Structure 1
């Protein structure tokens, strides 16, 4: 059975809609489903931010060691740990990047976006040839829009409205729209492939990004059904019925590595989306290990 057939078998009876792009980095064998369809990125949009950050560090525009003070008005709800800590602390840019990826820290993400610039992240994706990767909103903006609010500066009242978590299903946040943070599985898989094969910025920058992606703490998707010998550098994303994971799976026994981007929508539960991603990853892994 071909890899394509194996992937199609996994999603045949699931409730959600999935876009998948898989490629063995050494042999070039690939398979995909809906890989050119736009999907809401959720927190996988933090990989493009990471790449743009390391580009700026390489250019000398930013330093990983420079310190950023975290204040009350920097609060962003949702995933992360910085919001739980003492305001007024100072953390390094490297700390922010680490937290953005490994625990999907929204406050850290928005601090990095202030340093790098949202428009500059989007422009860098164009420079890399990723024409279907659209980055427009910070985490604060996404969360505001998701509950039907026009994004505005931080206030305690606004924060409390967001924390009520009364989602507006008609919000653009929940649409796969180029005005949203959206991309195709093909673009996202290509981005992590370029990082894994050291085709962007510099070898050391790619090594730094991979080191962070390997430290991911949320491992109930791409790595979940894989044996311990497999190592995965990846970033997850979740927003309502959107359940995503994008990364590189490194296989044992000199079998190489493969890029895999799984973006989805309309999952009835997060757990169902996670199981499907885990099964897709395992199907690709078993196929390449037995090739």
Structure 2
């Protein structure tokens, strides 16, 4: 697509959540004795159908919109969010990809029509929402690529993805088959027997159908599958080109299911409490000027929780402060050092020592795929003490819980490279003693990834972790929000918005979604930053801790986050 299309489409998305456009071929009347024409895809006699037909007509011509046409078809509330000039530029750019041909109706509703539309061989999802009152002007317009629901098995990554889905659905799991699909490093960390157990545990919920397939990125893809009773799993797969494209990464996490969701915050909290021993739901409004959080719902236990990789929000906050102060630039080249390499998740541990990447690249990796090596380089770049200072500056209820602030390498060394007795001795040290111990660990080799094979149950999650509450994370979000207009903070918001954490909110209502989550055995924490179509900001956190067990397969924490967003839409 033309460059100006990409730029303008991104502009509109940032302004209103999404813009929409679509295409259709008008129905052709023919004499009764001629070959009949296929019936129209949608009913253009309804208000929403008539507006959709008009939009498609614009896209299938030259895309030119006059001021009179804009005023006639778009409600003023829409035009306050999307400037007329941006709308004109976008429609003209989209028209360059004509024809826009509707293929099917995806969804119909009161005053709303959603179509699947083909343009240049790609299916797009198009939604038109109109005012209920005459003259039924457009109040919402969305266009975006439709989620893929098939795997391209002609590629090495696609072939492995299709094999994974087939195996989850009961295909051969013999040792010979599994060793032919996973690389040596993976099988050194996760035994064949463990993988056979995982596949067997999913059998009661099979067959699973493919819901969506993410476009591949750096030999990685994400496939969402749905089984019986609405059980949804997100399958993250990574291949190793250096070893015949065998799987080097295989991660299953709960996804947002299609079942009926709880319809109140109290019902959400009650369902969460049935999953793990300690749960927390926090929902708050954020003042865009002061960054202050005003709780809307605080349910479950509100004490400190282990938050896993959600701690990386504090490093991102410290980077924003350093850039704003002129101490760093997002374009600064950062050198990969062996001393700051960590274990996965992530991919930057595979980068050669001495290679360089921009600071913004590290930040994006840290947030988007929770890259631990990127995280530790950024912790070093920002400075441990300055990151610790961000906890107090953003209103953390007890910053000393995270002093000294662990790197991911520190955590892996303590949990996978030390005995229970050695960890207990570390915990007996005072703060200065722990700092000295962590400095000494920095010169020690990373524990082998194979040690992670036995890490299937909670390990010291109440003492060796990163700790916060939903209110604390709202505080760090609030600090970012009050600075959201600063140029130095734009990369912060860009990094947060790359991965929406499976939320997939109503884009006509939410124009910005930021996310960071974290997990380890016994820990699952999801935290979101949202801005609605009126420009108001909100924070939602869904937290789970259990000293005895991990999150059970089939549990749906993402459902609880999604439900919280839906409830928030009705009460805010």
The TM-score with structure 2 as length reference comes to 0.44
1 CA distance for matches of 2:369 and 2:324? Answer: 24
2:448 corresponding residue in structure 1: 161
1 CA distance for matches of 2:516 and 2:277? Answer: 20
2:551 is the alignment partner of 1:269: yes
What is the CA RMSD across the aligned residues, in angstroms? 3.0
Q: How many residues align?
A: 277
Q: Please point out which of 254, 275, 286 is paired with 2:566.
A: 286
SS at match of 2:320: helix
What does residue range 85-104 of structure 1 map to in structure 2 within 5 Å? 85-104=351-370
Q: Which of 1 and 2 has greater Rg?
A: 2
Do the aligned partners of 1:74 and 1:154 also contact (CA within 8 Å) in 2? no
Do the aligned partners of 1:244 and 1:262 also contact (CA within 8 Å) in 2? yes
2:411 is the alignment partner of 1:145: no
Shift of 1:171: 5.0
- Segments of structure 2 that go 5 or more residues without pairing to the other structure are 1-261, 288-292, 423-437
What does residue range 22-61 of structure 1 map to in structure 2 within 5 Å? 22-25=283-286, 28=294, 30-34=296-300, 36-61=302-327
- Segments of structure 1 that go 5 or more residues without pairing to the other structure are none
Shift of 1:163: 3.7
2:378 is the alignment partner of 1:112: yes
What does residue range 1-291 of structure 1 map to in structure 2 within 5 Å? 3-25=264-286, 28=294, 30-34=296-300, 36-133=302-399, 134-135=401-402, 136-149=405-418, 152-153=441-442, 158-165=445-452, 166-167=454-455, 172=460, 174-175=461-462, 177=463, 180-196=465-481, 198=482, 203-216=486-499, 219-220=501-502, 223=503, 226-227=505-506, 229=508, 230=510, 231-251=512-532, 254=534, 256-266=536-546, 268-269=550-551, 271-272=553-554, 275-276=556-557, 278-291=558-571
Do the aligned partners of 1:146 and 1:168 also contact (CA within 8 Å) in 2? no
Shift of 1:207: 3.3
2 CA distance for matches of 1:287 and 1:66? Answer: 42
Do the aligned partners of 1:241 and 1:265 also contact (CA within 8 Å) in 2? yes
Q: Which moved more, 1:19-28 or 1:182-191?
A: 19-28
Shift of 1:58: 1.1
The TM-score with structure 1 as length reference comes to 0.82
Higher relative contact order (CA 8 A, sep 6+): 1
Do the aligned partners of 1:20 and 1:34 also contact (CA within 8 Å) in 2? yes
- 1:238–1:170 Cα change, 3 Å: closer
2 CA distance for matches of 1:270 and 1:236? Answer: 17
- 1:272–1:154 Cα change, 3 Å: farther
Do the aligned partners of 2:541 and 2:561 also contact (CA within 8 Å) in 1? no
2 CA distance for matches of 1:168 and 1:12? Answer: 21
Shift of 1:64: 1.7
TM-superposition CA deviations, 1:219-241 (whole Å, max 9, x none): 33xx15x4455442011111112
2 CA distance for matches of 1:269 and 1:54? Answer: 33
Do the aligned partners of 1:64 and 1:93 also contact (CA within 8 Å) in 2? yes
Shift of 1:88: 2.7
